[in-house]
Chains A and B, each alone.
Chain A
Amino acid sequence: MASIAVEEHLCVTPNCGDKAKLRCPNCVKLGLIDGSYFCSQDCFKGYWQEHKKLHTSAKSSTSSSENSENYNPWPGFHFTGKLRPYPLTPRRLVPPHIERPDYADDPNGRSKSEEGEKSASSTIVVLTDEQQDILRDTCRIGRIVLDEAARSVRVGMTTEEIDRIVHECCVENECYPSPLNYYKFPKSCCTSVNEIICHGIPDLRPLQDGDIVNIDISVYKHGFHSDLNETLFVGNVDQKSRDLVRTTYECLEKAMEMIRPGTKYRDVGNVIQKHATANGCSVVRSYCGHGIHKLFHCAPNIPHYAKNKAIGIMKPGHSFTIEPMINAGNMTYEPELSCNRILIGSWRDILWNDNWTSATEDGQRSAQFEHTFLVTDTGCDILTARSSGQPWFMDGNNIS
């Protein structure tokens, strides 16, 4: 059965089905996508009596719990999926003998060194051999921490547990967990479940059978940062999620293949988006890959979407991350055409009221993978690679 990949919307008025570029403003405010597109004001007026029921049911469903989880710290906030924030545990401390980045002790978590860098030029730093070795070690430790966390994941475990394991592993390895207090992020790693794209805050929610969870680790040691993440399966995960995770990993693999001196940073997005679209998925626009070394985030900026104006060409000694966030698409069967029509999943993200958690606009799941790379004379070194070379989800043993 052939599939058509499509990005446009059709008018939802029954028996219309024309191309629709206009949206109901009430639906926009409520964050409703499906059912909000119309071809014209007249068509909309005609269907209004029926259409407005969507608003009423959306408003009431935010307080009901049809399979959704109960704790809601923000009454009235429209969640795009079933996930809800759970309470957080108190902030963890890092023993004072461990070297801290500048933002660790800033009351607003601001990094003066990063902000200073932004207003200066966007020159990409070339690391000396010595600096490269330091970065290698910091990345090696980052990998140790991620592996420790990944190994522990099981159904029923909370993301807060994962954070505890990460935090303790960092302390054991004498490094600072980079996310902690970065612009006031409250925890030591990011855990992003299901429809959460990135920057999920570890909390008391237990992982459920069938969830996918991304664990994003960054550590600071010897004055350098490393950054890596993987999406893992929790229990028995459905086929659609497996496909999403696999596609996302492949996007990173394809991007990795082009890392060598001379490649333009702006071309990375072209390759990623092409692969994502071919698999009925979409690429998140809001967050990008970034330079990393003494600063957590610095030049270059590497968008994961196509046709971007990113500045710079890869040179030996450049260090940066590539971390595509890929959203699953929606598929419907078109009987008249005898094929599947894929609405390439919305790439848009919605920020939760905690000012960090980023969720997909349509509530579909999102996956991500990330490595820290170092450009060499002939290609690149994957500094945060796992010794087996294979991401955890491919290991096949379903964590239960």
Chain B
Amino acid sequence: MDNDDSIPTLVDETTKVPVTILTGYLGAGKTTLLNYILTENHQRRIAVILNEFAQGSAMEHLLLTATTDEKGGDGRQRYEDWLELRNGCLCCSVKDVGVQAIEQLLEKRRNHFDYILLETTGVADPLPIVNMFWLDDELHSDLILDGLITVIDAYNGLKNYADDRHQEKALWSRQVAIADVILVNKIDLISQEEKSKIIELVRSINVTAQIYETTRSHIDLSLILDRNAYSKNSPPDYLLKNIPDQATTLIPHGNQTLNSVTMEFNGQFDFDKLDHLIIELLWNEQTSEQEIVRMKAVLCCSDESTYKLLQAVGQMYEFISTNEKHCDNLRNCFVLIGSNLNQERLREQFQKCLK
């Protein structure tokens, strides 16, 4: 407890602490990246949480590693701590127990961290973890989901992808599909031709992620942190830039493969019809082979004069109103990432929702 004679600094409870989730196969370079983050002198106070973070599993602890910036000190001290998971009420609780543990960390050490990096196990589907951290605004959590970073091993990447075992291919693809930033690591170990192939593959799966080629996971932190991928303040034009139409670049593959589809429309949408369609596409349990894992859109609806954004991860989605008027520029752009996407049918379905 602080000495009551020294006046403490007021705490702003309205600023949120961003949480970036990091995934990737074992050996891809995640640990190297994390060590780099912990040791590099980057003026940030980042807490790294290492763990076999899987949804629904009642683990005992999460390991927290962070660097402290001692006031006036030059070295960066590293300390480790265990975050205890409250094993009381898992029932009817809105937040996952892991999310609560991290919030408690912030409660105790609010003034110590301004960023959280969460490493997940490379063998888990990142989708439920992203959903876990994509909290409703009304919860007024200290945390805000910033984005998902996937590190892939360029050297083994194509092999990982071509691997016969269904599960493996699907998982690797999902980690790429849901990412906001992809680090194609170990780029120094492969030829120019292999590099083109792997990047083309990654691009075909995820058309909107930022892709960076890295060696030994070295990357300017400002490129991977503060992505604001789930922010309500993303500028509407980020999607309206020219995104190459992916329909033609199909890499032959079997079932369960993921790819991106981009669609543009002119006009205004009937919001209710569109909402209904989104629900049909995302919530209709197993009525078709098609699965949409990620969706982003900028659109114009007839009920508002400003652009609306759409964010969807798995079955969770929301529409966000913006302050930017669309005026006469009634352009709409949708990006869908998923498996067995029937582009023609999708286009028809969206078309029907236009006024």
Bound Cα distance from A390 to B342, whole angstroms: 53
Bound Cα distance from A115 to B136, whole angstroms: 23
Q: Mark A22-60, 1 if CB is under 8 A from B, else 0.
A: 111110110000000010110011001000100110000
Bound Cα distance from A35 to B10, whole angstroms: 13
A305 to chain B, nearest CB (A): 5
Determine if A127 is an interface residue (Cβ-Cβ < 8 Å): no
Interface positions, chain B 135-158, Cβ under 8 Å from A, are 136-140
Cross-chain contact of B92 among A28, A48, A289 (Cβ < 8 A) = A289
Interface positions, chain B 107-121, Cβ under 8 Å from A, are 107, 110-111
Are A355 and B136 in contact, CB atoms less than 8 angstroms apart? no
Bound Cα distance from A351 to B103, whole angstroms: 13
Are B1 and A183 in contact, CB atoms less than 8 angstroms apart? no
Determine if A240 is an interface residue (Cβ-Cβ < 8 Å): no
Are A29 and B1 in contact, CB atoms less than 8 angstroms apart? yes
Cross-chain contact of A44 among B7, B92, B94, B137 (Cβ < 8 A) = B7
Closest to B5 in A: A52
Determine if A365 is an interface residue (Cβ-Cβ < 8 Å): no
Sorting the interface of chain B by its residue count into under 10, 10 to 19, 20 to 34 or 35 or more gives 35 or more
* B-chain residues with CB within 8 Å of residue A24 when the two chains form the complex: 8, 10-11
Are A356 and B285 in contact, CB atoms less than 8 angstroms apart? no
Are A285 and B139 in contact, CB atoms less than 8 angstroms apart? yes
Are A309 and B318 in contact, CB atoms less than 8 angstroms apart? yes
Are B92 and A290 in contact, CB atoms less than 8 angstroms apart? yes
Cross-chain contact of B14 among A21, A108, A354 (Cβ < 8 A) = A21
* A-chain residues with CB within 8 Å of residue B91 when the two chains form the complex: 182-183, 290, 296-297
Are B56 and A118 in contact, CB atoms less than 8 angstroms apart? yes
Interface positions, chain A 87-116, Cβ under 8 Å from B, are 108, 110, 115
Determine if A338 is an interface residue (Cβ-Cβ < 8 Å): no
Closest to B138 in A: A305
Bound Cα distance from A313 to B282, whole angstroms: 12
Are A309 and B2 in contact, CB atoms less than 8 angstroms apart? no
Q: Mark B79-104, 1 if CB is under 8 A from A, else 0.
A: 00000001111111111000000000
Closest to A289 in B: B92
Are A25 and B9 in contact, CB atoms less than 8 angstroms apart? yes
A59 to chain B, nearest CB (A): 9
Determine if A123 is an interface residue (Cβ-Cβ < 8 Å): yes
Are B58 and A303 in contact, CB atoms less than 8 angstroms apart? no
Are A307 and B4 in contact, CB atoms less than 8 angstroms apart? no
Bound Cα distance from A311 to B215, whole angstroms: 41
Residues of A within 8 A of B (CB): 21-26, 28-29, 38, 40-41, 44-45, 48, 52, 55-56, 108, 110, 115, 118-119, 121-123, 182-184, 199, 264, 285-290, 296-297, 301, 303, 305-309, 311-313, 323, 351, 354-356, 358
27 examples of A-B residue contacts, CB within 8 angstroms? A21-B14, A22-B11, A24-B8, A25-B2, A25-B9, A26-B1, A38-B10, A115-B56, A115-B57, A183-B87, A183-B91, A199-B89, A286-B93, A286-B94, A287-B92, A288-B92, A288-B94, A289-B92, A303-B136, A303-B138, A305-B136, A309-B134, A309-B317, A313-B279, A313-B283, A351-B86, A355-B86
Interchain residue pairs A-B with the least CB separation, the first 6: A355-B88, A118-B56, A22-B10, A119-B56, A297-B91, A305-B138
Residues of B within 8 A of A (CB): 1-2, 4, 7-14, 54-58, 86-95, 107, 110-111, 128, 134, 136-140, 279, 283, 285, 315-318
